[in-house]
Amino acid sequence: MTLTILSMATALAISWFWIDPILKCRPAFRDVYAQEHNFFAALKEKLQGIKQKLSSAVVICASGAVTAYDFINPIISGVDITPLTSQVPSWAWPLVLISTTALFQFLRNLADSRHKEELTSGQTQVREG
């Protein structure tokens, strides 16, 4: 687990501090860099309004996987296993719940601010027209 996290952090740092500057300054790679930004802009536009639903689905799936491992796996396999929930310190559970709630509130605020911007731009267009 630690190796996976460190590998991902290393790959992200290499991309951010080494590959991105090369793509920005080399004329041969400018198109690739521009396409990358266009891809992320298109992805952001596609995911507009459903980020909260997607994150809820991920949390539900993760909860289902942990529940299946902790409760259903011993019944099916007949082998006594150590539950995943017992491997997490007891002080971490409130932090997990608080951070999940904060994530959902952040996504809700993003949706609300986008809705306000749409209403404001719609009112200015009506006044101009």
CA distance 85 to 68: 11
3 state DSSP class of 112 = helix
Q: What separation in angstroms does the CA of 113 have from each of 40, 80, 107, 127?
A: 20, 50, 10, 21
Q: What is the pLDDT of residue 124?
A: 62
Q: What is the pLDDT of residue 29?
A: 65
Query: pTM of this prediction?
Result: 0.49
Residues of the chain with pLDDT under 50: none
Q: What is the pLDDT of residue 87?
A: 85
Q: What is the pLDDT of residue 98?
A: 86
Among 54, 67, 66, which residue's Cα sits nearest to residue 104?
A: 54
Q: What is the pLDDT of residue 3?
A: 74
Within 8 A by CB and 6+ apart from 15, the residues are none
Q: What is the pLDDT of residue 96?
A: 85
* Locus of tokens 């017992």: 86
Question: What is 20-54 written as a DSSP string?
Answer: HHHHHH-GGGHHHHHHHHHHHHHHHHHTTTTHHHH
